[in-house]
Structure 1
Amino acid sequence: MFIGYLVVAVLLGAVLVMSARAKLVRDERVVASLQRAGVPLRMFPPLAALEIAGAVGLVAGIWLAPLGIAAATGVVLYFVGAVLAHLRAGDPKGLAAPLPPLAFAVAALVLRILA
């Protein structure tokens, strides 16, 4: 289980950092998707900070299990919020972005608890 967490944590951490970067540089696709979900531009930096914190926590969780569990829980909640925002805005097309990382975040949480 630990090797599984290690792989998922590193991959999900990389995805989170890339997503945060896209928000900070205001990538056109990300801006369009988040605006369809009703997210104002002023929220991009705090959302990016949450993603970076999640990535750091997941990777640090390799050595500190409670931190990994807390980070994975936070990332799950972050992406549940993203899914709900797209659903509330009537943007089913936008679900393609948050659903895969949500699945990986759930996997990271389960794997870290079991490791």
Structure 2
Amino acid sequence: MFAAYVTVTIVASVVNGIAAVTYLIGHAYPQAQADMKRVPRSWLPVLGSLLAAGSLGLLAGLAVPALGTLAAAGLVLYFIGALVAHLRVGSRQLVGWAVFFSTAVAALVVSVSYHR
């Protein structure tokens, strides 16, 4: 179980860390997504910071288990908000969302399961 916990946590952290970087450097893809979802571009640094905090929190959770569980739960909530943003504008392009949401849920499940 330890190997699964560490692997899923690291994969989720890397995936969300890469997303955070794209938001924080002003990459065109998050900007286009924000425009499509009618989210102000001024929110992108905040959203990127939330992703970065979740990513770092997952890694910190390897040393402080409660922190990792809270970070995973925060990422799950973040991606539920992203789903709402998609559905609000009628977007059905949910493959990317599903990948990110699945990694966050997997990190939460293995964290809770391992630390019971």
- The interval holding the TM-score normalised by the smaller chain is over 0.9
Residues 16-49 of structure 1, C-alpha deviations (whole Å, 9 max, x = no match): 1111111122222221122211211100011011
Query: Could you give the per-residue CA deviations for residues 38-89 of structure 1, whole angstroms, max 9, x where no partner exists?
Result: 2111000110110110011101111211111100000000011111110111
The residue matched to 2:38 in structure 1 has which SS? coil
- List runs of 5+ in structure 2 lacking aligned partners: none
Percent of residue pairs bearing the same amino acid type = 37
Gaps of 5+ in 1: none
* Matched residue SS, 1:90: coil
Q: Which moved more, 1:34-43 or 1:50-59?
A: 34-43
1:66 corresponds in structure 2 to: 66
- Aligned residue for 1:62, secondary structure, equals coil
| Structure 2 equivalent of residue 110 of structure 1 | 109
Residues paired across the two proteins, number = 114
Distance in 1 (alpha carbons) for counterparts of 2:2 and 2:88: 36
Structure 1 outlier segments of 4+, above 6 Å: none
Give the Cα separation in 1 of the matches to 2:35 and 2:6: 34
Paired position in structure 2 for 1:99: 98
Specify which structure has the bigger relative contact order, considering alpha-carbon pairs within 8 angstroms and separated by 6 or more residues: 1
